[in-house]
Amino acid sequence: MTLTRNVSDITTSDSKKRKRVVFANIDAGIEANECIKVFLVSCPEEMDTADCFSTNPVDLCHFFGEEGKIYGYNDLKINIWISCVSFHAYADVTFHSTFNGSKGITDLNPIIQDICGESLVENKDEFLKTFSTEAQFFRNIISNGEVICSEASKGHDDASYSHLEPEASITEHQVVRMNLSNVPVGQLYDRLVALVHLFVDGGSPVDVTDPKWEIHFIIERNTDLGVETYFKLLGFATIYHFYHYPDSSRLRLGQILVLPPNQGRGHGRHLLEALNSVAISENAYDVTVEDPSDYLQHVRTCIDTLRLLKFDPIKSAISSTASQLKQGRLSKKTCQLRSNPPARVVDKVRQQLKINKKQFLRCWEVLVYLNLDPTDCHSMENYRASILDRMKVDVLGKDVGTAGKCVVEVPDDHDMTFVMFRSQAGGTDCTLDFEVDKDRKSQEEQLNHLLDKRMKEIFKIAEKVSLHCSSEAKLRR
């Protein structure tokens, strides 16, 4: 028996199915940093003028889900205002319209609350009142701190001090040290969390209840003929005291931020130098930095290289290393042995300058380069070989090059993985010959790329250090 369906029934059924099919509007979303602007203001009047400082935040995508985007808004603008007086924050969110597309509508309120933390106030009027009601908030807290270094300021150009006559005031830049477990200091830091999220890449708040955390503020202190003192926050750094057996501690820099309007004026250098002085005065084991940015590492290496140039106990070792690298073409093994700093030198630098071994090796490379002639091809070839050899150890491990072992780069779905193979009886497995050769070639290409990048960093630091030394020499004449 053959079963048939009436054509009209089929048409009616298909029509009903088609009516039930709905295509949602495709919403590509918008990157958070494309619609967020940050404004730093020192007085209420700046909010209504174009003179206030504005800047873009660091990448905030991790606050907005896995895809890091905002959905459901047309012409979205998020302006975050931060008071440089009380460090409260106010967010002004505007948009033309919303639409419920394929991803829905992002709820912005809890996300902005997460970004700004305790500093966020609900409306503009409340935000404006904080300039007067909490005008002494920062001063009252910072006045109780320990001043660990101070230097005269070359002047200021901040609008909040515009009412002062230059000849009637004394301006200093100070680094003030405080413990974050102190309740008022912890409350101040809670308000600074918005700055951490907005301007420190990958920044996250520290635990203010842990007594091992402390904070160093760099401030501008302006005294009007002793009548009144004004304080302005320029930046800050958080430091953690790790226990080191048996009776010392390691100082780790957790986060450092110079507020965007004050960047490029040496305040970051001032903070790092203050940390070094604390480490030396308290005889800490050494100083380390947690996940430094490329720029922070550059500044830190410039500072430490200048310190090491004046450190007499290592001068003969640097001179000896440079002299050996000038001796024609050296074998790779010879380059490695002759370019490493002696263990006693590494230990003496750590003991007296508190520079850890890894950081000292970075500076050592610069110090050796400064003692070479860049136009001497043989010495520079030896120098590059020594840097490459050290990079191989850092990237692939100490056993690279050992007979019977082979490090192979294996691609996976997300990244490149290094795998070490050990052949039987110290030989080479013939079945891996082709893959090993291919991967070694890839490794060499990547290592040479890293070497070129490192050499550029060394040249840049050496140039800056040389310019600084030349300037100091001119001043002494």
CB–CB of 286/353 below 8 Å? Answer: no
Name the H helices within 376-432.
377-396
CB–CB of 150/172 below 8 Å? Answer: yes
CB–CB of 24/101 below 8 Å? Answer: yes
Active-site residue, from 67, 228, 290, 472: 290
The sign one gets for the Cα dihedral 163, 229, 269, 192 is negative
Residue found by looking up tokens 């840049």 in the block: 460
Concerning whether 31 is annotated as a catalytic residue, the answer is no
Tally of CB atoms within 10 A around 64: 18
Pairing of strands 248-258, 287-289: parallel
How many angstroms separate the CA atoms of 363 and 305, rounded? Answer: 5
How many angstroms separate the CA atoms of 250 and 370, rounded? Answer: 30
**Residue 336 Cα distances to 303, 339, 368, angstroms:** 26, 5, 13
How many angstroms separate the CA atoms of 17 and 389, rounded? Answer: 69
How many angstroms separate the CA atoms of 179 and 86, rounded? Answer: 20
Tally of CB atoms within 10 A around 32: 22
155: left (phi over 0), alpha (psi -120 to 50) or beta: left
Please name the amino acid found at residue 192. L
Catalytic residue numbers, as ranges = 290
